[in-house]
Each structure stands twice: as structure tokens, then as C-alpha cells.
Amino acid sequence: MITATVMFVVVLSCNERKNNKLTDTSMNNMTVGEMAVQEHASISIFKELGIDYCCNGNKNLEEVLSGKNISLEAFVAKLETIKKEKDTTKVADFKNMKSKDLIEYIVDTHHDYLENALPEASELFAKVLRVHGSHHLELFEAYKLFGMLKTDLEQHLIKEETMLFPKIVNQDKDAGKEIKEIKSEHEAVGEMLDKIREITHNYTLPKDACMSYQNLYTLLQDIEDDIHEHVHLENNILLKNR
């Protein structure tokens, strides 16, 4: 994930500190992934801060926030503000879904999206590379990395649908090998996404960017967001404690 410096200017009253249930001592051992599961609104803060809540969601929340120079209280206050401002539309209760239903959601929502978005982005990337590559040499490296990412994800989705997910649905206790492999591939994908973001300077468009260039960077960011949500559901919920 990218590094971000964000200032949280917060003044908490004594009553707010006492009444805020998220500030109790139980949070001291909470991981970033567990927070993302418990409070879906926290994901927007993690994105803003460049905190990896999916591939490396097993890191201690307080320690990760401390690394960003943000206190736990400031984080909680920000979270409560977001929850009040956000649309009150109810978010699906993923953590209490049956494994079969969660798998169905992952396949129908995230797998289907990637199966369409990856080829679209690849075609668009090649078009932009031909037009702008000679003036923006970083595009060649980014295009090469995206090709690796696309190939890895395509085989990854098939592996999940034909090997891992059936074992989980059938409550096969011998799924340890597949789970370990899938989690390892999640980490590799996360590293490639980080590298592409670094090469493209956080998807910053050059002054001569055409509409196709703009569309490409928008699509790449959408793909990254979808993958983060996708991996979060698997690492932090579906495969948790398996």
C-alpha cells in the first residue's frame, strides 16, 4: 500500500472517551483485518492512510496507527465521524454469512468483475503504451507488471473456484495446503499492485494524458480497490482460523 501522511485533529471530551465502546482495552490486541471486519467504515480510513487491511491484515492495529503517528483515540473519532456522515444503507453482514453464501458472493461479485476488468485494462494499457510509451518510459515497466498480475490473478481465480472453494463448502479438513498457497498468492498480488502504484506515481496523470490514459488509470485504481475488498473477505473472514 502507498504511504500517506494524514493529520487527524481531534478533541475528545471525557464523556466521549468513556462512552466510545471501541476505545476499551479489547482493542489493544485487535489486528487491522479484525477492525476491517468489525467496522466496514474503517476501510475508507485504511485506504486514506495507505494501510494494508487485506494482504497484511494480521498486523496489530495500534502499532500500525502508531507508525502513521496517529493515536487509537483519533482513529476511533475519525471512524465515528465517517459512520455518521456515510449513507445509512446497511452493509452486508459478511462475518456472519455461511461459508457457502460468502463464496457465492465473492465469485459473483469479485471474480466476475476481474474476469471482465482485467482483459479490458490489458487492451487499454497496450493502446496507451503505443501512443505514450516513448515519452513516459515508466509505462513499459508498469505494463509488464500488469501482465504478470493479470496472469497470476486469472489462474488464482480458477484455483479458488475449482480447488479451494469446493473443499470449504464440503467442509474438507484437508484444505490446509490450498489455503496456504492462496494466502501466499494474495501477498504476491499485493506486492505487484504496490509496485505498479509506485511506478505510476500513485496513478498521477501526466500533462499530456489523453482520455484513454485517464480511463486506464481510473480502471487500474478500480481493480486495485476491488482486489483489496476481495482479499479482505477471504483472508480476514472466509479463511480466518482455518
The pLDDT tens digits for 50-93 are: 888 887 778 889 899 998 898 888 998 888 888 887 665 567 88
Which residue carries 504478470 as its cell? 148
Dihedral sign for Cα atoms in the order 116, 118, 124, 126: negative
Which residue carries 469479485 as its cell? 110
pLDDT score for 19:
46
Q: At residue 24, does pLDDT exceed 80?
A: no
Burial zone of 234 (CB within 10 Å; 0-12 exposed, 13-18 middle, 19+ buried):
buried
Say how many Å lie between the first and final Cα of the chain, rounded. 26
Q: Cα(184)–Cα(201) distance, rounded to whole angstroms?
A: 26
Query: pLDDT band for position 26 (50/70/90)?
Result: low
Q: At residue 154, does pLDDT exceed 60?
A: yes
In sequence order, which residues have a C-beta less than 8 Å from that of residue 229 and are 6 or more positions away?
Answer: 43, 54, 110
Q: At residue 11, does pLDDT exceed 60?
A: no
In sequence order, which residues have a C-beta less than 8 Å from that of residue 56 and are 6 or more positions away?
Answer: 32, 187, 190
SS3 102: helix
Residue 168 in grid coordinates:
470449504
| pLDDT tens column, 161-178 | 999 999 999 998 889 999
**Residue 78: how many CB atoms within 10 A of its CB?**
20
pLDDT score for 59:
87
Q: At residue 13, does pLDDT exceed 80?
A: no
Q: Cα(95)–Cα(98) distance, rounded to whole angstroms?
A: 9
| pLDDT tens column, 198-241 | 999 999 999 999 999 999 999 999 999 999 999 999 999 999 87
SS3 60: strand
Q: Cα(145)–Cα(148) distance, rounded to whole angstroms?
A: 5
Residue 217 in grid coordinates:
488509470
Dihedral sign for Cα atoms in the order 35, 204, 198, 140: positive
pLDDT score for 47:
85
pLDDT score for 86:
66
